[in-house]
Amino acid sequence: MTTPQPRTAETRISVELVPRSAESLTAEMAEIAQRLPGVTTINVPDLLKFPLRSWDACGVVRGAPARADGTAYPVIPHVRAADVDPDAPLPMAEAIRAHGITEVLVVSGDDADYFTHHTYPVDAVDVIRRFRAELPEVRVYAGLDPYRSGIATEMRYLERKLSAGAVGVFTQPFFDTSYMATWGRVLPSDIEVWWGATTVTTQASIGYWRRRNLVAFPRDFEPTLAWQRDYARRAIDAAGEQGQNIYLMPVRTSVLDYLEGVI
């Protein structure tokens, strides 16, 4: 059986890009290539409100303006477990191979989508196992949510994902490097961690994160772009100190407004 490529010790910095259209992705990639030299990777969520699926969006990214060394950016599409028919081959397998994709993130999928789109009662653990069987050369990451339940419960779920074949995790965004450090001390030392950071710049967004994701913001949190930019710098440093990676997710702000001068 083919095995996934081993991880490197280099800290990687990914930017999460929303796949609104091929044109928007190409434009954002041009900005990243020209003005954000610290970006090493692009990750793309799978959002059903847009027709471009994450793995096809990653094909657009791979064909967009390249890195300084002339090579295409590595890409990590998100795959929603609830969309995967348990009785059919992985529907994105052909595209993943065609686009040279070597890493994926498997997430459960939003509950709200169950009422508007056909889904399957499939757990992320099952889909991780499917990837290991059908695309054994692909490195598979699992999601980790530090807010929805206690640490012990989330760690038990993570153990199932790792046993199924995941090589690491993408976390929900953190807003506190001390909380990152707490989780860093309990996560297995031999897995790859992608810490998350994002922009929350309005009171409405604060309310959303509190209600939907059960986030408790630190006392020093401010819903300003200046605070988010400063936190991104601190989170990048914290991830580097752990020898791990980070992804940065601009929401309701442009990639450059969030990250130019930060990376």
Please determine, for residue 64, whether its predicted confidence score (pLDDT) is greater than 70. Answer: yes
Q: What's the longest Cα–Cα distance across the chain?
A: 50
Query: What integer pLDDT is reported at residue 6 of this predicted model?
Result: 42
pLDDT tens, position by position, 199-223: 999 999 999 999 999 999 999 999 9
CA dihedral 61, 70, 102, 12 (to 10 degrees): -90
Q: Which helix (H) or strand (E) holds 183?
A: helix 177-186
Query: Does the pLDDT value for residue 97 go beyond 50?
Result: yes
Instruction: Look at residues 54, 125, 116, 123 and name the one whose alpha carbon lies nearest to residue 91.
Output: 54
Structure tokens at 43: 């990750």
Q: 10 Å Cβ neighbour count for 189?
A: 9
How far from each other are the two terminal CA atoms of the chain, in whole angstroms? 38
Q: Model's pTM, two decimal places?
A: 0.94
8 band by pLDDT with thresholds 50, 70 and 90:
very low
pLDDT attached to residue 217:
98
Q: Coil, helix or strand for 58?
A: helix
Q: Answer whether CATH 3.20.20.220 is correct for domain 13-196.
A: yes
Confidence at residue 1, expressed as pLDDT on a 0 to 100 scale: 43
pLDDT of residue 166: 99
pLDDT of residue 2: 46
Spatial distance between the Cα atoms of 130 and 149, rounded to a whole number of angstroms: 26
**Binning pLDDT at 50, 70 and 90, where does residue 5 land?**
very low
Is the pLDDT higher at 183 or at 110? 183
| Beta-strand runs (E) in the chain | 13-16, 41-44, 75-80, 103-107, 139-144, 168-173, 192-198, 245-249
In whole numbers, what is the pLDDT of the chain averaged over residues? 94
Q: By percentage, how much of the chain surpasses pLDDT 70?
A: 94
Pairwise CA distance, residues 39 & 76, whole Å: 13
| pLDDT single digits (tens) 129-142 | 999 999 999 999 99
- Mean per-residue pLDDT, 113-119: 68
- Per-domain boundaries in the chain: 13-196
Q: Which positions ≥6 away from 98 have C-beta within 8 Å?
A: 59
